[in-house]
Chains A and B, each alone.
Chain A
Amino acid sequence: MFDVIERFKSWADALDVDFCRWRYIAMSLSGALVLLSWVAFFTVGPNWGTDFTGGTEIQLKFDQAIEIGRLREGLRHLGLSDDAVQAINGQDSGEFVVRISDPTFGMEGLEQDVRTSLTGLYGADWIESMTGSAEVSARFVVAHKDPPVDYQVVTRDLQATFPGARAMPSTNENQIAIEIPGLSERIKARIAAEMGEHTFTVLSTDSVGPKVGAELRTQGMVAMLATMALILVYVAFRFDLEYAPGAVVALFHDVSMTIGVFVLLQLEFSLQTVGALLTILGYSINDTIVIYDRIRENRERYRRSDTVTLINKSVSETLSRTITTTLTVLLALVTFLFWGGPVLRDFAIAMLCGLVFGVYSTVYIASPLIIIFEDWKPFFAKFLAITDSGPEDGGPGGDDSGEPGTGPTVTESEKRRRARADADKIGPGTPPKKELLG
């Protein structure tokens, strides 16, 4: 066992792959896939969760396990499609999720009922006008004529017919707002009526108003863009201008691909998913940073090398680390796929996608883009009026005079390193590698 690991490690250490050779193929392919993901996102559309569409989601557990078909049949009578019902925790757990995205579901006839009640209570022409709307509960604004009725009295009177109804005073005189809550209660009651002898308990309900849903969607988008922008600024600040766009494009790629997978598999796109996407942004950048760090370091070390060689070398050098950390995070995530329950499963899927795409994009998107943006850098620099000076200016084929410019801050170890690096260029120290490429 140890032997295998040791051999693998020395293989990975010795690896020197020309990753950049396939960069154009890889980047075009990725570009196409990203495009495809967004096309699918806007045409097919993801399977939006209740968080975003608004509506009601009820999780039921039947006392005796029943076929999903039986429940679907019952709900068809209520005008719900088969997609609205999903079994969770396995086929025979008796647990189902019912999703109803129409916010006014169960509200039919309610307005008329309320109107009838009010006219019955306070006289036929008491109501002057009445407007209704539905968020999580049904809400009616009633403008009325004299006599004024205390809202507490209206609440009390209405509760005889509509349990839980509530009247609220309004700042306008002779106007009252009435809220009939519990659309989810009405839905529950209707399901119970449909299912007859099959009794169930409600494990959870989740009602979201459509307004909130739409806002959460925008906010999620903004949050992701903000994260990318902040990371862009940070990378530009910590590394160099030409590094930053690549890192962010890679992040965009990871998120887009993950979204693409979610659209393709029609997995529920919920708040948790957006949370996972944001986490992917934060995690996938780690890989990129480590390799960028190495490229930056190697650029100092091998001043003669061109960027392509530098990138190949840096990616190869850190490959052992990349494999190891990917494996550990994979281990931590895979368990959630199997044992984490329905909520965490989708989360784990999103994170796994992000992890895999993240490793790939670091090598084939973030790094090669440095080459491209390096060429653009003078333009950017002029545009941002940044005067770049010092040894870092060395692009491909830059000056190789080595020592000058680094100033007195060179440490002992740095000097040693330089010496070693010079030796590296000519010395025979490099282990055999080519044959391992296969």
Chain B
Amino acid sequence: MEGIYWFRIGAVAALFFGSVWVLLPTALRASAEDRFAEAARGVEAPADLGPSLGVELPVTEGDPIALAGVLETRLRVAGVPFANVGSLPKAVAVRLSAGGSREAVAKFALAPGHATVHALDAVTTLDPKGPVAAPPATLPAPAVEALTTAVGPDANYWAAQVAKLDGVRLAPDTVALPVSIVKAEQTDTGVRIAWAEGQPFPAGVPLGAVAVDGVVAGFVLPDGAFFPVGASRDPLALLISGPTPGRMGVPVAEPETATPATEEAPKTAVSNVPPWLEGLLPDTAIALGLDLQGGIDLTLQVELEEAILGQVTRDTAFLKDAATKEGLQVEGIRRSHTQPVIEVTTDAPLGDVQTFMKKQAGDYTYADTREGRIHRFELSETRQEQVRDQAVNQVLEVLRKRVDATGVKEPSIVKKSGGRINVQLPGMQDVQASVDAIGTTAVLEFRMVDEEFDDAYLEQMMKAADEALPDDQFLDDDLLNIWLWENKRLDQDRIILWRYDEQPGVDPVRAEPYPLISDVVLTGNDVNDAGVGWDQNQQPFVTLEFKPRGGQIFCDITGKAVGKRFAVVLDKEVQSAPSIRERICGGAARIEMGGSENPTKDAQTLALVLRTGALDAPVVVASVRQIGASLGADAIRQGTTAAVIGSVLVYLFMVLWYRTSGVIADIALSINILLILAGMALFGATLTLPGIAGIALTVGMAVDSNIIVYERIREELRLGVHPRKAVDIGFEKALVAVLDANITTAIAGIVLYSYGTGPIKGFAVTLLIGIVTTLITTVFVTRTIMEMLTRSSAARLRI
């Protein structure tokens, strides 16, 4: 008896201090966020923006205000989404909105482009191996108008010439006009360029082509009116940079650690914790739900049935080939329009058809025969399930990469039932930009590897770049290539891209550089399908199937480049560089996984990458919610106010009603609330608005357990039992009811958890945690204190 008593006291103490410990990081982190809010105040953030995304660039030279202006123009023109750009005493701060990334900001802050102006003669010396075989872009109306007035009747000819310039790289030997740009600015009528004094636009040239880093960005009239071509707005932003009024340093990673004084601040957000405590603190935190901190909640629907029909379509094509090879006489093999069914029309005996199908397409089961000669085979349910899974996983994979690229803090991507995927982007405000940022399909390209490239030179080049460039710039593939081109170390029709090593939980690191020929020979749109197969030695390989046009091009390329390698590039990262053994025509290729440590996994990853170009199933947005941060702040205020008032009322009620025992119940209640919060931190649960209500409701319900016990004890006391005994009996008797009541509530809580999304889920979590903590506090806290008070034989108990 005595032992159990002390054990209980120990447990209460352990619970209390454990909870405080677990909650410490949350408490401290909150104040770290306040500090950022303090620091960012000068930036005049609109109230609607969450505190989560910001970049701070230390100014090493020049005037921060002027630099902020330049950067703002560049970002706006480049289409990098941002909320505002402000200047701090020795830094420029950028607050991003959805779709903006730190990388993009860094790119425009660090690397002013190298703009040249060419006479339109340059059109004739365009690089014949222009990378994009794009159809002529339409010219914007004001441009045509300007051309007609400037050039006269020949305007149409010039318009056609100019349209060809879109995204095209100038030949290396093209000579630029002797003009220099001093300023480019965005005006109401468009971008205007100002020429340097003494270097006016030469007479007799009606129109100039402006190239940034060798890529045509647009054309310019002698008076400085500038018209961009195509959708590639990035070069324009570089152009607009003009002469930079100063220099900016490497951007500081996250706003929390942005204060210049704490350069060596740890990456964790708990930056105002004394260093000795740092390593000891647990890695726990209560995250705020979207409804409290603002942000965007997207539900995407993967159209699963289309994925299955797509699979059947591909199988149908395959079977047609196979039938020819096997010599099976068929009149037609076609897909049913609405069902995952293949119809084989033939006069051959059913047995033969079944044998053929079993061998070639074992996933199909015989369904029925119509009109005596149309044999129908249905895709098996297991295979359908696989296709659905595959389609959803593919989208998930693409989404993860995309969301990572936006740099949003603590995003959540959850697979739901029925092919739905829920994406939450805390702090984001711009719905359109979010959909753009994560909804865009990844860019898959095929480029040839330059086999003649000298390895020693590559190494030497990298060494030089490493020495010349700050780390951040060196590690940014885009910036590095720009530097190499500008410094004439690399030919403009070559590009160095890397294969990256990806380990879970670690930022990917560069593994191997590939000197590539800039031209994109094929894109993801040319790929029809990819999958994994096994050869006789059970070695996995990736099957790659092109659409007819892609197959044609692939056939040409492989014919010319036997023995060379081609690189599969996804979003500028080299995924694989298989070498070409022979000319491959017929639209299907096979990539062997020689030399891979884990060939099966690598093959699956590569197949997935190859399929990203053509998603198995279209994706549509099923729902979008956007919650403004100010609304979230209001919600927090209202929710907590109500919860606090409610709790105080319950506290008062308990003291009035049960006096001393009421105080005990209140103590238990306080520990209960502490435990709920600690539990949430421990499980990484999210606090939502209904969650706050859930805590208050738990407070109301938690006293229920106490009341059941108290009423029981009162009954015992009325029967004249000694207080100590009454407490024992009361707890024993009441516990059954308390347990049953809480378990039934938990049943509803679990259903609620699996049904609800977002806020409702948060409510279910607090409810469930509350049930557990209520049981714990009733058994340990209340009982221990009651026993403490009734230990002496002379004890009296007023309930």
Contacts and interface: CB of A to CB of B under 8 A. Distances in A.
A227 B754 CA distance: 11
Contacts of A121: 138
A65 B796 CA distance: 62
B737 to A, nearest CB: 4
Interface in A37-83: 59
Nearest to B738: A290
B755 A335 contact: no
Given A2-B659, A153-B135, A279-B748, A333 B697 contact: yes
B747 A231 contact: yes
Interface string A129-161: 000000111010000000111111101110110
A272 B759 contact: yes
A206 interface: yes
A422 interface: no
Contacts of A274: 755, 760
B624 A136 contact: yes
Given A136-B622, A344-B639, A220 B755 contact: yes
B618 A318 contact: no
B700 A340 contact: no
Given A159-B231, A170-B618, A351-B697, A286 B719 contact: no
A331 B646 contact: yes
Contacts of B635: 341, 343
A275 B628 contact: no
A151 B752 CA distance: 42
Contact of A271 (B630, B732, B756): B756
Given A148-B549, A173-B548, A336-B642, A329 B704 contact: yes
A223 B642 contact: no
Interface in A163-183: 163-164, 166, 168-173, 177, 179, 181-182
Nearest to B309: A171
Contact of A227 (B439, B729, B748): B748
B230 A156 contact: yes
Could you tell me the dominant secondary structure of chain A's interface residues? helix
B76 interface: no
Contacts of A334: 646
B138 A283 contact: no
B616 to A, nearest CB: 7
Name the residue in A122, A172, A286 with the highest tally of chain B Cβ atoms < 10 Å from its Cβ.
Answer: A286
Contacts of B715: 317
Contact of B752 (A168, A275, A321, A339): A275
Interface string B373-397: 0000000000000000000000000
Nearest to B631: A203
B628 A203 contact: yes
Interface in B117-159: 134-135, 137-138, 140
A209 B525 contact: no
Name the residue in A206, A282, A289 with the highest tally of chain B Cβ atoms < 10 Å from its Cβ.
Answer: A282
B314 interface: yes
A81 B230 CA distance: 43
B615 A168 contact: yes
Given A164-B432, A170-B618, A206-B624, A293 B737 contact: yes
B623 interface: yes
Given A59-B631, A223-B751, A340 B656 contact: no
Given A1-B656, A328-B650, A333-B697, A234 B313 contact: no
Contacts of A215: 418
A166 B619 CA distance: 11
Interface string A220-263: 10010011001100110010000000000000000000000000
A324 interface: yes
A234 B744 contact: yes
A124 interface: no
Given A219-B755, A272-B760, A203 B630 contact: yes
B626 interface: yes
A283 B619 contact: no
B747 A282 contact: yes
A341 B638 contact: yes
A341 B700 contact: no
B701 A283 contact: yes
A283 B719 contact: no
A212 B745 contact: no
Given A148-B549, A271-B756, A343-B689, A332 B649 contact: yes
Given A179-B620, A336-B646, A149 B135 contact: yes
B241 to A, nearest CB: 24
A278 B432 contact: no
A101 interface: no
B535 interface: no
B310 interface: yes
Name the residue in A122, A152, A413 with the highest tally of chain B Cβ atoms < 10 Å from its Cβ.
Answer: A152
A166 B134 CA distance: 17
B432 A327 contact: no
A5 B656 contact: yes
A181 B751 contact: no
Contact of A335 (B313, B649, B749): B649
Contacts of B291: 343
Contacts of A286: 701, 704, 741-742, 744-745
B755 A328 contact: no
B432 A163 contact: yes
A184 B432 CA distance: 10
B648 to A, nearest CB: 9
A184 B613 contact: no
B621 interface: yes
B650 A336 contact: no
Interface string A329-366: 11111111011110110011001000000000000000
A285 interface: yes
Nearest to B754: A223
A335 B696 contact: yes
A179 B649 CA distance: 53
Contacts of A223: 751-752, 754-755
B630 A234 contact: no
Contacts of A164: 432, 435-436
Contact of B620 (A135, A327, A413): A135
Contacts of B518: none
Contacts of A318: 711
A142 to B, nearest CB: 12
Interchain residue pairs A-B with the least CB separation, the first 5:
A282-B748, A332-B700, A171-B310, A341-B638, A329-B700
18 contacts: A9-B657, A13-B714, A166-B440, A171-B310, A177-B618, A206-B624, A220-B755, A226-B751, A234-B743, A278-B752, A282-B749, A331-B650, A332-B649, A332-B699, A333-B646, A334-B646, A340-B693, A347-B693
Interface of B: 48, 134-135, 137-138, 140, 230-231, 291, 299, 301, 306-307, 310, 313-314, 418, 420, 431-432, 435-436, 439-441, 443, 523-525, 528-529, 547-549, 613-616, 618-628, 630-631, 634-635, 638-639, 641-643, 645-647, 649-650, 653-654, 656-657, 659, 689-690, 693, 696-697, 699-701, 703-704, 707-708, 711, 714-715, 718-719, 729, 732-733, 736-737, 740-749, 751-752, 754-757, 759-760, 763-764, 767
Given A171-B614, A328-B703, 15 more contacts: A59-B631, A168-B441, A206-B625, A208-B622, A219-B755, A227-B747, A271-B759, A283-B745, A289-B744, A293-B737, A320-B711, A321-B708, A331-B646, A339-B645, A341-B638
